[in-house]
C-alpha cells in the first residue's frame, strides 16, 4: 500500500493557503494546516473534506518558529511536502520604510522559509523524498523590475534566492521551487484582483505533487518557468 504523504502548509487558514490545503486534501494527502490561531484554524479545517490537522506556527520571530517546528516534528516526525505560503505585505515606499518594518517582512516572507526548509528538508533527505514550494511573486523578480512595494519586493527577491540556493544544496528526489500565483482575490490582493484563490493555488499544488522527474530550483507561473 502506498504511503500517505504529509504536507505542511503555512498560512493555511485563508486565501491561497486555504485553497492549497483543500487541493492537497482532495488528492488524499494528510495536510497540516499551520497558522498562529489554532482555534480559528480548526474551525476552518472542520469545513474541509479530507485528512486535515491544525498546527500552531507563528512565523514572526526565530523563537516562535523554532518552538512551532519542534512541536510539529514531535507530532509528525516526517513531513513529505512543505508549502511556504504565509506572507505579509507592507505598502511603505522605500524612503519611508524603517529597518524594523523591513525586518518584519523579511522574517515572515523569507527567513521563515529558510528555517522551515532547513528543518524539514534535512528530514526529507532521510526518506529520499521531499517537495518544497515557496509562494513568491513577480514583484520580487529582477526580471520584472522588482516593482512591488519596497519591503515586499526585497523579501520576495530574498525568498527567490533561498529557493535557488537550497535547491542546489539538496540532492536526490528533493524538489524545491518557487511560484508566482498572480494577482489573487485575497485580503492581500484585494477584491479587484483578477484571479480566484483556487486559480492562485493551482501551480503550488502541482509543484507540491511533482513526480520524480519534475523540475527543481525553478520559478513558475501557471505551471510554466519564468525568469528570476
Q: How far is CA 91 from CA 94, 104, 122, 144, 198, in A?
A: 9, 13, 35, 18, 25
pLDDT computed for residue 173 by the predictor:
96
Establish if 217 belongs to a structural domain: yes
pLDDT computed for residue 198 by the predictor:
94
Query: pTM of the entire structure?
Result: 0.95
Q: Structural domain of residue 129, as residue ranges?
A: 6-225
Establish if 57 belongs to a structural domain: yes
**CA-to-CA distance for 39 and 12, rounded, in angstroms?**
13
pLDDT computed for residue 23 by the predictor:
98
Write the CATH number for 184: 3.40.50.720
The per-residue pLDDT string of the chain (228 residues; one tens digit each, 9 = 90 and over) reads 678 999 999 999 999 999 999 999 999 999 999 999 999 899 988 989 999 999 999 999 999 999 999 999 999 999 999 999 999 999 999 999 999 999 999 999 999 999 999 999 999 999 999 999 999 999 999 999 999 999 999 999 999 999 999 999 998 899 999 999 986 777 777 788 778 889 999 999 999 999 999 999 999 999 999 999
Establish if 211 belongs to a structural domain: yes
Q: What is the SS3 assignment for the chain?
A: CCCCCEEEEECCCCHHHHHHHHHHHHCCCEEEEEECCHHHHHHHHCCCCCCEEEEECCCCCHHHHHHHHHHHHHHCCCCCEEEECCCCCCCCCHHHCCHHHHHHHHHHHHHHHHHHHHHHHHHHHHHCCEEEEEECCHHHCHHHCCCCCHHHHHHHHHHHHHHHHHHHHCCCCEEEEEECCCCECCCCCCCCCCECHHHHHHHHHHHHCCCCCCCCCCEEECCEECCC
Domain total in the chain:
1
Establish if 212 belongs to a structural domain: yes
pLDDT computed for residue 224 by the predictor:
97
Establish if 20 belongs to a structural domain: yes
Q: Are 8 and 82 in contact (CB under 8 A)?
A: yes
Q: Are 71 and 55 in contact (CB under 8 A)?
A: yes
| Grid coordinates given for 121 | 528538508
pLDDT digits over 51-64, tens only? 999 999 999 999 99
Active site residues: 152
Establish if 202 belongs to a structural domain: yes
Establish if 37 belongs to a structural domain: yes
Establish if 1 belongs to a structural domain: no
**CA-to-CA distance for 213 and 40, rounded, in angstroms?**
38
Amino acid at each position: 500500500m502506498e504511503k500517505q504523504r504529509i504536507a505542511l502548509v503555512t498560512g493555511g487558514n485563508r486565501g491561497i493557503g486555504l485553497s492549497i490545503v483543500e487541493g492537497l486534501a482532495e488528492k488524499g494527502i494528510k495536510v497540516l494546516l499551520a497558522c498562529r490561531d489554532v482555534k480559528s484554524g480548526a474551525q476552518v479545517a472542520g469545513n474541509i473534506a479530507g485528512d486535515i490537522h491544525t498546527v500552531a506556527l507563528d512565523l514572526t520571530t526565530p523563537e516562535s518558529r523554532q518552538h512551532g517546528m519542534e512541536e510539529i516534528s514531535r507530532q509528525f516526525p516526517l513531513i513529505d511536502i512543505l508549502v511556504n505560503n504565509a506572507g505579509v505585505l507592507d505598502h511603505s515606499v522605500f524612503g519611508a520604510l524603517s529597518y524594523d518594518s523591513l525586518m518584519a517582512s523579511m522574517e515572515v516572507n523569507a527567513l521563515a522559509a529558510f528555517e522551515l526548509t532547513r528543518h524539514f528538508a534535512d528530514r526529507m533527505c532521510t526518506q529520499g523524498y521531499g517537495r518544497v514550494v515557496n509562494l513568491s511573486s513577480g514583484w520580487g523578480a529582477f526580471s520584472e523590475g522588482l516593482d512591488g512595494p519596497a519591503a515586499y519586493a526585497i523579501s520576495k527577491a530574498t525568498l527567490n534566492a533561498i529557493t535557488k540556493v537550497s535547491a542546489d544544496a539538496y540532492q536526490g528526489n528533493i524538489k524545491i521551487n518557487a511560484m508566482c500565483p498572480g494577482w489573487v482575490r485575497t485580503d492581500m490582493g484585494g477584491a479587484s484582483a483578477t484571479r480566484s484563490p483556487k486559480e492562485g493555488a493551482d501551480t503550488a499544488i502541482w509543484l507540491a505533487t511533482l513526480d520524480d522527474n519534475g523540475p527543481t530550483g525553478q520559478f513558475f507561473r501557471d505551471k510554466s518557468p519564468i525568469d528570476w
